[in-house]
Amino acid sequence: MSVQVAPAIDREGEPALFDYGAEAELFPPRSRKFGRQAMGYRRFDSAAEAIRFAMEELPSALLLGAQLQVDEARYDGPAIRRLYESAGYPRRTRPSA
């Protein structure tokens, strides 16, 4: 898999580079409201996989409190959404039936 680096927005709203091919960790919300079994800590081979999982498989209430860590940077729910919606996100098309 080729390394894909795309512009992202950092916490201050400034453009930054984001490596969608870097290993990533997804942490559950800290709220006890959801319980530990709603979502546990997950590790992904690429940030793109972690972002896809967060956006397409997590309930939106869990996404709000989730944290994505790539290298030393952390991204909250709204930042994960911006990365997913970014033109640099490596979209995979599903084969048609």
**Per-residue pLDDT tens digits for 32-89:** 555 545 568 999 999 999 999 999 999 888 898 899 999 999 999 999 999 999 888 9
Task: Confirm whether pTM is higher than 0.85.
Answer: no
CB 3 within 8 A of CB 71: no
Q: Is the pLDDT of residue 10 over 70?
A: no
| DSSP string for 28-86 | --S-TTS-GGG---EEESSHHHHHHHHHHTS-HHHHHH-EEEETTEEE-HHHHHHHHHS
Looking at residue 5, what is its pLDDT? 47
Looking at residue 61, what is its pLDDT? 87
Give domain limits for the chain. 39-89
Q: How confident is the model at residue 1 (pLDDT cuts 50, 70, 90)?
A: very low
Q: Dihedral, CA atoms, 76, 78, 79, 84, nearest 10 degrees?
A: 120
